[in-house]
Amino acid sequence: MVRSLGADHIIDYTKEDFTQSGQRYDLIFQLAGTRSPSACRRALASKGTFVLSSGESDGRWIGPVGRIVTTLVLSEFVSQKMASFTLKPNKEDLLFLKRLIEAGILTLVIDRTYSLGKVPEAIRHLEERHPRGKVVITVRAAEDSAVG
């Protein structure tokens, strides 16, 4: 699926640890990743960039904050650029994404769609790591669900 979207090189994180392969990357963008910032740094080229968006929290109450702090602290002591990516959704950015989608430049991959009443089932699907794309929860408008 990823190759059909245009990827040149694919890593199946369930079968291969890219931080141990010896390959060096100019950019690693880790979205909800499972590798530590230190391990990712070892896979970077000497002037590479590591961007962390989130990550697993190992059940810690602070969530991915620990990974983000580690990344920012490391950035002060290494030649690579280490950064955290955060986003504050806004109307302009969402409209820009909408235009990219409508123009066929950005491709969305939706694995499954669940109704609001099936959220526990959707969460189970996510926890089992089965999705091959995004999982969407639909919420009906109040007027659609009104009994009249």
Domain regions of the chain by residue span: 3-84, 91-145
Given a cut of 90, whether residue 95 has pLDDT beyond it is yes
Segment holding 72, helix H or strand E: helix 65-75
Looking at residue 113, its pLDDT comes to 94
Looking at residue 51, its pLDDT comes to 82
* Section 106-134 average pLDDT: 88
Give every CB contact of residue 86 below 8 A, 6+ residues apart in sequence.
Answer: 53
Mean model confidence pLDDT for the chain: 78
pLDDT in tens, 60-70: 554 556 666 66
Side-chain-facing half-sphere of 18: CA atoms under 13 Å: 21
pTM above 0.85, yes or no: no
Q: How many whole angstroms separate alpha carbon 35 and alpha carbon 54?
A: 11
Looking at residue 148, its pLDDT comes to 45
More confident residue, 108 or 83: 108
